Chains A and B, each alone.
Chain A
């Protein structure tokens, strides 16, 4: 069964740091680009970042560039999002999602269940 399980979401103070993880199983993780997509409470979906299958290339939304760093450990089939200098507007459910491979486009599938990050004092 294809599965993505996020973890690491907690309540953190503004200016703080946090690392999210996403454990993958049931598919060849190292063949897929991966992404983080977030959803603020009651709001729509916002793309955050994408990493290539090898980890050699990363892409970020302007809203997180310079503050967030995406990485992956292919032998462990795990994706990470290091979040620094957190702001109230980073409060959201963060989803990891598969994002394309050599024979398919960069649509988002599969998705994890999400982990909630709350930035508040």
Chain B
């Protein structure tokens, strides 16, 4: 099974500053036949279901602000929020869909400093 590990568990960033969340998979999620990383990022606000932000490690979902970006390949990935806004306070999860059992990171709680 692929284990997803996020760091840090929680993060406090000032408004307008950059926030960076890391995600590491226990084995590669790069599908070599199409050179795509099977890695997604979700945002979850209190009392709401998760919302897809990014798939294929770096493809932003339609309607997601461009301050959100994803990078990385193989086993190491990063979600970056370039300029934190108040509405970005949430828990963020990475998830691999390379193989079942699909697995999520433990989540990173993002707050305003």
Say whether, besides A107-B97, A108-B52, A111-B50, A45 and B104 are in contact (CB < 8 Å): yes
Q: Are A50 and B50 in contact (CB under 8 A)?
A: no
Q: Does A89 contact B (CB under 8 A)?
A: no
Which of B7-50 touch A at CB < 8 Å?
A: 36, 38, 40, 42, 44, 49-50
Give chain A's interface residue range (CB within 8 Å of chain B).
Answer: 20 to 34
Q: Please indicate the chain A residues that have their CB under 8 angstroms from the CB of B56 in the complex.
A: 105
Query: What number of B residues sit within 8 Å (CB to CB) of A?
Result: 23
A interface: dominant SS: loop
Q: Does B77 contact A (CB under 8 A)?
A: no
C-beta contact mask, A39-51 vs B, less than 8 Å → 1, else 0?
0000011110010
Q: Are A108 and B40 in contact (CB under 8 A)?
A: yes
Q: Are A45 and B101 in contact (CB under 8 A)?
A: no
Q: Are A44 and B93 in contact (CB under 8 A)?
A: yes
Q: Does A29 contact B (CB under 8 A)?
A: no
Q: Nearest B residue to A100 by beta-carbon distance?
A: B97
Q: Are B49 and A47 in contact (CB under 8 A)?
A: no
Rounded to whole angstroms, the CA-CA distance of A106 and B101 in the bound complex is 12
Q: Are A47 and B38 in contact (CB under 8 A)?
A: no
Listed residue (A35, A100, A109) with the most chain B CB atoms within 10 angstroms of its CB: A109
Within the complex, the shortest CB–CB distance from A117 to chain B, in Å, comes to 15
Say whether, besides A105-B97, A108-B40, A112-B49, A47 and B106 are in contact (CB < 8 Å): no
Q: Please indicate the chain B residues that have their CB under 8 angstroms from the CB of A44 in the complex.
A: 93, 104-107
C-beta contact mask, B64-99 vs A, less than 8 Å → 1, else 0?
000000000000000000000000000001010100
Q: Are B49 and A107 in contact (CB under 8 A)?
A: no
Q: Are B52 and A47 in contact (CB under 8 A)?
A: no
Say whether, besides A111-B49, A111-B50, A105 and B104 are in contact (CB < 8 Å): no
Q: What are 20 A-to-B residue pairs whose CB atoms are below 8 Å? A: A44-B93, A44-B104, A44-B106, A45-B44, A47-B103, A50-B100, A59-B100, A59-B101, A62-B101, A95-B49, A95-B50, A105-B36, A105-B38, A105-B55, A107-B95, A107-B97, A108-B42, A108-B97, A109-B52, A111-B50
Chain A interface residues toward B at CB < 8 A:
35, 37, 44-47, 50, 59, 61-62, 95, 99-100, 104-109, 111-114
